[in-house]
Chain A
Amino acid sequence: MRIIVCVKQVPDIAEMEKMETDPKTGTIIREGMPAIVNPFDEYALEEAVTWKEKQEGEVIAISMGPPQAEDALVKCLSMGADRAILLSDRDFAGSDTMATTYTLARAIGEIGDFDLVLCGQQAIDGDTAQVGPMLAEHLHIPQITYVNRIEVEGKHVVATREVEDGYEVIRCRMPLLLTVVKGINVPRVPTYSSLSEAMDKEIPIWTAEDLDVERDRLGLPGSPTAVTRIWYPVPRTGGQVLTGEPPELAERVAQVLLNILQG
């Protein structure tokens, strides 16, 4: 069984409190912000490694990003990925989800046959949840999104999909792409030795040169969407502080709720 896991390196939002803004432009200074593996992608990777251990096979982690995204792949290797590939090229910069998935699909094409592609449900910085379905379309394979349980039955996968009012159970023949939610597993914590082993592994960097791509579908020029404006809204501030004895507090809160609901 060969499983490809797509991962993204994202800024660690827990550190956002300490984030500084440029006094001139009002933009966030991203430099020096700690980066982590997108938490949803860790669930995808853990799931892949678990199935590899049960079924035997290979887990390949793949990421597109700047050279420092290598750190995210090292973490993947330390969590049990057999190998990792970094897609990094100035020509990839500015990719929207369409250009990103086109590039990922071409890279997966270079890797060759596979049984599963796993992705996190979304990345915590962009929150689009678009990479999974778009990548599946480029690869011409079915997709099952928001999966919280995977069973492998021979050449088929039975996946449980989390929807607003419950679950859907879907069966599909491999190959296919799945995006996973939190709660599907508990990702393992790398040990010191697995981490040092991972750091010794070589992570090849693939550029546009290495891929069979149409150049005009890459990066910013290859992206159908364009960001035309970015701004930072004034952060939310507090309102009234209510203090007093519980029954009195309850009365006042109830009144607030009723006033709002009566509009």
Chain B
Amino acid sequence: MGISVIGEKCTGCKKCEAACPFGQIEVIDKKAVIQEGCTLCGACHEACEVGAIEVERPILQGASDLDTYRGVFVFAEQREGELRSCTLELLGEGRKLADKLGQELAAVLLGDEVEDLCPLLVAHGADKVYLARNSNLRFYQTESYAAVLTAVISQYRPSIFLFGATTTGRDLAPRVAARVRTGLTADCTSLDIEEETGLLLQTRPAWGGNIMATIKTVNHRPQMATVRPKVMKKPEPYPDRKGKVIHIPIKVNPKGMKTTLLEVIKSREQTISLEEAEIIVSGGRGLQSAENFKVVEELAQVLAAAVGASRPVVDSGWKSHPYQVGQTGKTVQPKIYIACGISGAVQHRVGMESSETIVAINKDPDAPIMQIADYAVVGDLFQVVPELIKVIKSRTKKGESRKNLT
């Protein structure tokens, strides 16, 4: 086994015992003793303050047993017991990859009282669900989640492991990749299997899609990637699909963790996240004041869209930073992006240029945004937008959402 306790360093403080999510360390006669069922997850190594525990994982550089890593795994992200939509998108994409390889697709689900989600994961394509259920896994926390995933990788040896490129996925995946020492590609927008080699082809944009790169992880496993939300299509669910749920026995002791989640605060303003929105209505400098921004918010409301802003709006304090789209804000890829009074500096464009359809409303037909918009609406936003709100409202029956309107 690749784990050892350095006897002279160990003080018998029991921090490792508390940290082990699998109950596989016992302190006997003031020394830590690793039990048979150790998964090499590394939680004890992280918790030990005197450097008395060493974990050695086999490094797979050029190793001959790369082929023994099999299956496509998807991290099933849930928040408050509900699956993130990117999870279903990942299952759809993962299914295609698994079929090309002739291997299994598995979802890895962590949380508290989340069993109900297993049939949903299976219906969307998972052959297996690895379920780690524990009240201390209710909320995402890097330490506990990274330990469980490392254990899953050590034990079940997947060839591919996919995550949504959310704030959770982008916090968790690099931590795990560094721990198991494998490659990770961020924010992919397309995935495929290379025919000759069976390797995962991971394609991602840089500089707002001005450059595209395809990346491979040749000699390390699993091949890990985070995938941009909204890019892959959600698959049709088949409720009759059969799948297997495998319980991962786990005990998480909050005392063994270095970080404490004190509070989870829901944003009161933005009810739809920019990254996951189908429609985004964004406002720019053309709004002229914070007060005027209301017209953008109202249009967003009638369209059930998320609200975005350009950098000058955020720098002027009309909207807070979480609303910013662009280079120093968020990169978004909605179905429809409506830019109101945004000139379209390159710093903004790199954050939204991959949107499916761009509608720009601007007085200036020569503004850069008008040159990339699918629909360049030349007009005064203070006249056009209120009219647009009226028209949309008139087509929406009272109290009905946009979905019913279509």
Q: Which residues of A contact B (CB under 8 A)?
A: 13-14, 16-17, 28, 39-40, 96-98, 101, 124-130, 132-134, 136-138, 140, 142-146, 148, 158, 161-173, 176, 181-183, 216, 223-233, 235-244, 246-247, 249-251, 253-254, 256-258, 260-262
Chain A CB within 10 Å — which of B186, B276, B402 has the most?
B186
- Are A97 and B329 interface neighbours, CB within 8 A? no
Q: Which residues of chain A are within 8 angstroms of B181 by Cβ–Cβ distance?
A: 98, 224
- Are A238 and B373 interface neighbours, CB within 8 A? yes
**B259 contact from A132, A172, A182, A228, Cβ within 8 A:** A172
Please provide the chain B residues from 50 to 74 with a CB less than 8 Å away from any CB of chain A in the complex: 61
**A137 contact from B179, B182, B274, B350, Cβ within 8 A:** B179
Please provide the chain B residues from 349 to 396 with a CB less than 8 Å away from any CB of chain A in the complex: 350, 353, 356-357, 359, 361, 365, 370-380, 383-384, 387-388, 390-392, 395
- Are A225 and B216 interface neighbours, CB within 8 A? yes
- Are B395 and A231 interface neighbours, CB within 8 A? no
**B321 contact from A96, A148, A168, A246, Cβ within 8 A:** A148
Q: B387 → chain A, closest Cβ, in Å?
A: 3
CB closest chain-B residue, reference A138:
B178
Q: Which residues of chain B are within 8 angstroms of A165 by Cβ–Cβ distance?
A: 79, 266-267, 270, 273
Report 12 cross-chain contacts, Cβ distance below 8 Å, ordered by A residue.
Answer: A16-B346, A98-B181, A125-B207, A134-B174, A143-B175, A164-B166, A164-B274, A167-B264, A228-B214, A230-B212, A238-B374, A258-B406
Q: B373 → chain A, closest Cβ, in Å?
A: 6
Give CA–CA (A137, B345) in the complex, Å. Answer: 37
- Are B388 and A254 interface neighbours, CB within 8 A? yes
CB closest chain-A residue, reference B353:
A236
Give CA–CA (A162, B266) in the complex, Å. Answer: 10
B343 adjacent to chain A (CB < 8 Å)? no
Q: Which residues of chain A are within 8 angstroms of B183 by Cβ–Cβ distance?
A: 96, 98, 223-225
Q: Which residues of chain A are within 8 angstroms of B206 by Cβ–Cβ distance?
A: 125-127
- Are B388 and A253 interface neighbours, CB within 8 A? yes
CB closest chain-A residue, reference B387:
A250
Q: Which residues of chain B are within 8 angstroms of A171 by Cβ–Cβ distance?
A: 259-260, 262
- Are A235 and B210 interface neighbours, CB within 8 A? yes
Please provide the chain B residues from 202 to 249 with a CB less than 8 Å away from any CB of chain A in the complex: 206-207, 209-220
Interface string of B249-273 (1 = CB under 8 A from A): 0000000001111111111001001
- Are B267 and A250 interface neighbours, CB within 8 A? no
Please provide the chain B residues from 165 to 189 with a CB less than 8 Å away from any CB of chain A in the complex: 166-168, 170-175, 177-179, 181-187
B17 adjacent to chain A (CB < 8 Å)? no
**B387 contact from A133, A172, A231, A247, Cβ within 8 A:** A247
Q: Which residues of B contact A (CB under 8 A)?
A: 45-46, 61, 79, 139, 142-143, 166-168, 170-175, 177-179, 181-187, 201, 206-207, 209-220, 258-267, 270, 273-276, 279, 303, 314, 320-322, 324, 327-329, 331, 335-336, 345-347, 350, 353, 356-357, 359, 361, 365, 370-380, 383-384, 387-388, 390-392, 395, 402, 405-406
Chain B CB within 10 Å — which of A136, A166, A232, A237 has the most?
A166
Give CA–CA (A146, B61) in the complex, Å. Answer: 32
Q: A19 → chain B, closest Cβ, in Å?
A: 9
CB closest chain-A residue, reference B214:
A229
- Are B262 and A170 interface neighbours, CB within 8 A? yes
- Are A258 and B46 interface neighbours, CB within 8 A? no
- Are B395 and A254 interface neighbours, CB within 8 A? yes
Give CA–CA (A161, B281) in the complex, Å. Answer: 25
Q: A57 → chain B, closest Cβ, in Å?
A: 21
- Are B258 and A173 interface neighbours, CB within 8 A? yes
**B328 contact from A17, A39, A98, A225, Cβ within 8 A:** A39
Give CA–CA (A172, B258) in the complex, Å. Answer: 6
Total contacts A-B at CB 8 Å: 260
Give CA–CA (A7, B203) in the complex, Å. Answer: 26
CB closest chain-B residue, reference A231:
B212
- Are B174 and A242 interface neighbours, CB within 8 A? no
CB closest chain-B residue, reference A179:
B171
Q: Which residues of chain B are within 8 angstroms of A126 by Cβ–Cβ distance?
A: 186, 206
Q: B192 → chain A, closest Cβ, in Å?
A: 12
> With A13-B207, A254-B388 as given contacts, are A240 and B187 in contact (CB-CB < 8 Å)?
no
- Are A258 and B217 interface neighbours, CB within 8 A? no
CB closest chain-A residue, reference B304:
A261
- Are A182 and B324 interface neighbours, CB within 8 A? yes
Q: B77 → chain A, closest Cβ, in Å?
A: 11
Q: Which residues of chain A are within 8 angstroms of B171 by Cβ–Cβ distance?
A: 133, 143, 145-146
- Are B328 and A237 interface neighbours, CB within 8 A? no
- Are A124 and B328 interface neighbours, CB within 8 A? yes
**B186 contact from A130, A140, A228, Cβ within 8 A:** A130
- Are B375 and A130 interface neighbours, CB within 8 A? no
Give CA–CA (A236, B371) in the complex, Å. Answer: 8
Q: Which residues of chain A are within 8 angstroms of B209 by Cβ–Cβ distance?
A: 233
- Are B375 and A242 interface neighbours, CB within 8 A? yes
- Are A226 and B186 interface neighbours, CB within 8 A? no
Give CA–CA (A215, B175) in the complex, Å. Answer: 22
CB closest chain-A residue, reference B368:
A17
CB closest chain-B residue, reference A248:
B387
Q: B394 → chain A, closest Cβ, in Å?
A: 9
- Are B263 and A168 interface neighbours, CB within 8 A? yes
Q: Which residues of chain B are within 8 angstroms of A167 by Cβ–Cβ distance?
A: 263-265, 267
CB closest chain-B residue, reference A39:
B328
Give CA–CA (A92, B329) in the complex, Å. Answer: 30
Q: A228 → chain B, closest Cβ, in Å?
A: 5
Q: A26 → chain B, closest Cβ, in Å?
A: 11
Q: B231 → chain A, closest Cβ, in Å?
A: 15
Q: Which residues of chain A are within 8 angstroms of B395 by Cβ–Cβ distance?
A: 254, 258
Give CA–CA (A31, B279) in the complex, Å. Answer: 39
